[in-house]
Chain A
Amino acid sequence: GAVVSQHPSRVICKSGTSVKIECRSLDFQATTMFWYRQFPKKSLMLMATSNEGSKATYEQGVEKDKFLINHASLTLSTLTVTSAHPEDSSFYICSASGETDTQYFGPGTRLTVL
């Protein structure tokens, strides 16, 4: 099956700093990548859809200036949480799809903002 990696798996940062999370498709070309956020015991929440080489499409209520998404190549997308605050602490998960509809998820990044 297709493999998607995320880095880092866990990050702890101080309030006000920025954090970059990388999502890579290791064995296929991901024309589209998706970023989700999940709070404990809650459903996945789609944050944005990112197509290679174009601007991300953000879901309603997600601040594009706070959550910067870059999808510069067919195997890499990054999510930068700018000026992070404690309420941004969450589990961030990316997924990628290529030629088929199947979305393959990365292992997730657990962000804790102190």
Chain B
Amino acid sequence: GQNIDQPTEMTATEGAIVQINCTYQTSGFNGLFWYQQHAGEAPTFLSYNVLDGLEEKGRFSSFLSRSKGYSYLLLKELQMKDSASYLCAVSGSGNTPLVFGKGTRLSVIA
């Protein structure tokens, strides 16, 4: 079966750091994606992890542990514009559809 879990909602303060966790159980695994989706807009690509470890890209970092079926997205120096839904998605194999989590709605408050 395919199962991806992430928290439904999170709230964090402007300037702070927030970690959004994602656990997965899928029949195949090539890699894990994180997407950002603002309300009323389509998702935009943030990161792709294939190997274990931390990938840093500016204020955003993504971590993967394949043995634990676990990933997190780390957002530093939060800004109000970071308020959005963050989608965790697993790639099975080839060009099969990504399996998406339900998304974590992050609210950044002053």
Q: Give A residues with C-beta under 8 Å from B.
A: 1, 31-32, 34, 43-44, 46, 49, 51, 91, 93, 97, 101-108
CB-CB contacts below 8 Å: B68-88 with A? 87
A1-B45 contact, Cβ under 8 Å, with A32-B95, A46-B97: yes
**Which are the 9 A-B pairs with shortest beta-carbon distances?**
A32-B95, A108-B42, A101-B91, A105-B42, A43-B102, A93-B42, A105-B43, A107-B42, A46-B97
Is B13 among interface residues, defined by CB-CB distance under 8 A? no
Is B63 among interface residues, defined by CB-CB distance under 8 A? no
Residue total for B at the interface (Cβ-Cβ under 8 A): 21
Report the Cα distance A31→B96, complex, angstroms.
11
Cβ contact within 8 Å between B42 and A101: no
Cβ contact within 8 Å between A51 and B45: no
Closest to A94 in B: B42
Distance to closest chain A CB from B25 (angstroms): 17
Report the Cα distance A25→B26, complex, angstroms.
29
